[in-house]
Chain A
Amino acid sequence: MAASPREEDLLDAIVMADARFHGEGYQEGFAEGTHAGITEGKRYGALHGAKVGSEIGCYYGFCSVWRSLLQNCADEKHSKKLKVLDSLLGMIQDFPYEDPTYSKLHEDLDKIRGKFKQLCSLLSVQLDFGFCNKGSELAF
């Protein structure tokens, strides 16, 4: 039994109203959600970025000073240390620490950490373990 055109219109109106109300709510919600997502994402991103930035900066500062100190010594026995320092400084400078989309961010960071440990034992520097990445204890 076919519905009369009038009934179809009415049915359409009901179905459309349903979609319209949903759509209006959706649009409003989407704008709100986008704003909230940016804000929330920024906060999480900021905490992660702070940790990585601070850690990488710390390695860089540490290596720069030690390199300068050892270079001035002009002692043969420091050549191995200087080699490790140069290689580590190169790794740090090539590391795009500020780019969260870099796919090997964690991989490279771990390599830098490993190299840094090696350097510290070469320099026989007794460091409080993880003095450069103490940030990892930050609560998220």
Chain B
Amino acid sequence: MSWLGAAGIGKCSDEVFDEEANELQLAQREWTNVMEQRAKEGYRDGVDAGKEASLQEGFNQGYKQSAQLMVKSGQLRGTLNALLSWCRFLETGSAFLARISSLLDAVGWYEEKVVQRLGSASQLPQPAELLDAVQDMDLNIDTAQQEECTGSEDSMLFNKAPDPAAAPLKSSSEVVLPDSESHKMADECKSAEQNLNWLIQQTACLMEQLRLSADVIQQVQQLEN
């Protein structure tokens, strides 16, 4: 503990206080300490004031962005819940129940992931990042989807969302972002967006099979980015 020594504590000698020069040094040190203390106090006051002034604004920004983001998956969840309750009324509906339930689970999983990201990430994905993510998405999924729509029903019943790792993504270097953290986030956005779009397509297919009217199917398809 060097400060014990510097302060002369623990020593019998009180030579530190003997000399005038040391006294001056001590006064200087004290002055510096006081001023540092004042700067620290100012800093603390500033942090408090700055926070207080900006918390609400930050809250409003974050609220709006994520409300607009989550209203889509919410709408998909509501749609699937309506289909689920409808199919329980239909005699022929039971064949669809398992598929609707698994889609509902997937939407729930998606929402959970997004909320986790919102709770941990300091920044929401910016629209520009999302746009990049959408543009970078591999379109093979769309064609595969079309085939599934017209293909056998059984094959699409229990299909899981495409594995993000298996779906080839273009290099993230095309997305111009400042650091690796943003790269990671952009990648996460990509797979999340991809999954949601896939779920939307699946739900629209299901609605076609259940012979829902075109306008309400279109409403769901419009959720796609």
A and B associate in one complex:
yes
Q: Knowing A30-B47, A68-B212, A100-B60 touch, does A63 contact B78 (C-beta < 8 A)?
A: yes
Find B124's partner among A30, A46, A99 (CB 8 Å cutoff). Answer: A46
B41 within 8 A of partner (CB) = yes
Find B45's partner among A26, A46, A52, A125 (CB 8 Å cutoff). Answer: A26
Task: Report whether B69 and A53 are in contact in the complex, using a CB–CB cutoff of 8 Å.
Answer: yes
A76 within 8 A of partner (CB) = no
Find A47's partner among B48, B75, B76, B118 (CB 8 Å cutoff). Answer: B118
Partner-binding segment picked from B20-28, B82-90, B148-156, B178-186: B82-90
A43 CA to B117 CA in the complex, in Å?
10
Task: Report whether A57 and B42 are in contact in the complex, using a CB–CB cutoff of 8 Å.
Answer: no
Task: Report whether A34 and B53 are in contact in the complex, using a CB–CB cutoff of 8 Å.
Answer: yes
Q: Which residue of B lies closest to A70 (CB)?
A: B86
Q: Knowing A49-B65, A100-B63 touch, does A25 contact B54 (C-beta < 8 A)?
A: no
Q: B residues within 8 A CB of A59?
A: 78
Smallest distance from the beta carbon of A35 to chain B beta carbons, Å?
Answer: 8
Task: Report whether A33 and B51 are in contact in the complex, using a CB–CB cutoff of 8 Å.
Answer: yes
A71 CA to B60 CA in the complex, in Å?
39
Q: B residues within 8 A CB of A18?
A: 35, 38
Find A41's partner among B47, B61, B108 (CB 8 Å cutoff). Answer: B61
Q: A residues within 8 A CB of B56?
A: 41
Q: Which residue of A lies closest to B210 (CB)?
A: A69
Interface residues of A in 99-131 (CB under 8 A from B): 99-101, 123, 125-127, 131
Q: B residues within 8 A CB of A32?
A: 43, 46-47, 50
* Prevailing SS type, chain A contact patch: helix
Q: Knowing A54-B73, A57-B77, A65-B82 touch, does A40 contact B55 (C-beta < 8 A)?
A: yes
Q: B residues within 8 A CB of A23?
A: 42
Smallest distance from the beta carbon of B99 to chain A beta carbons, Å?
Answer: 16
Smallest distance from the beta carbon of A140 to chain B beta carbons, Å?
Answer: 8
Smallest distance from the beta carbon of A33 to chain B beta carbons, Å?
Answer: 3
A26 CA to B216 CA in the complex, in Å?
56
Q: A residues within 8 A CB of B54?
A: 33-35, 37-38, 41
Task: Report whether B115 and A33 are in contact in the complex, using a CB–CB cutoff of 8 Å.
Answer: no
Find A58's partner among B42, B81, B122, B124 (CB 8 Å cutoff). Answer: B81
B8 within 8 A of partner (CB) = no
Task: Report whether B50 and A43 are in contact in the complex, using a CB–CB cutoff of 8 Å.
Answer: no
Task: Report whether A21 and B66 are in contact in the complex, using a CB–CB cutoff of 8 Å.
Answer: no
Q: A residues within 8 A CB of B106?
A: none
Task: Report whether B41 and A25 are in contact in the complex, using a CB–CB cutoff of 8 Å.
Answer: yes
Task: Report whether A36 and B59 are in contact in the complex, using a CB–CB cutoff of 8 Å.
Answer: no
Q: Knowing A49-B66, A62-B79, A97-B71 touch, does A42 contact B213 (C-beta < 8 A)?
A: no
Residues of B in contact with A (beta carbons under 8 Å apart): 35-36, 38-83, 85-86, 108, 111, 114-115, 118-119, 121-124, 207, 212-213, 215-216, 219-220
A22-B39, A37-B58, A48-B63 known; 9 new pairs, CB 8 Å cut-off, are A21-B39, A25-B38, A26-B46, A34-B50, A36-B50, A44-B59, A50-B118, A58-B81, A132-B77
Q: 6 nearest interchain CB pairs?
A: A41-B58, A33-B50, A57-B74, A29-B46, A61-B78, A25-B42
Residues of A in contact with B (beta carbons under 8 Å apart): 17-18, 21-69, 71-72, 97-101, 123, 125-127, 131-132, 134-135, 138
Query: What are 13 A-B contacts defined by CB distance under 8 Å?
Result: A34-B53, A37-B57, A41-B59, A42-B61, A43-B58, A43-B119, A44-B59, A49-B66, A58-B74, A61-B77, A61-B220, A62-B82, A65-B78
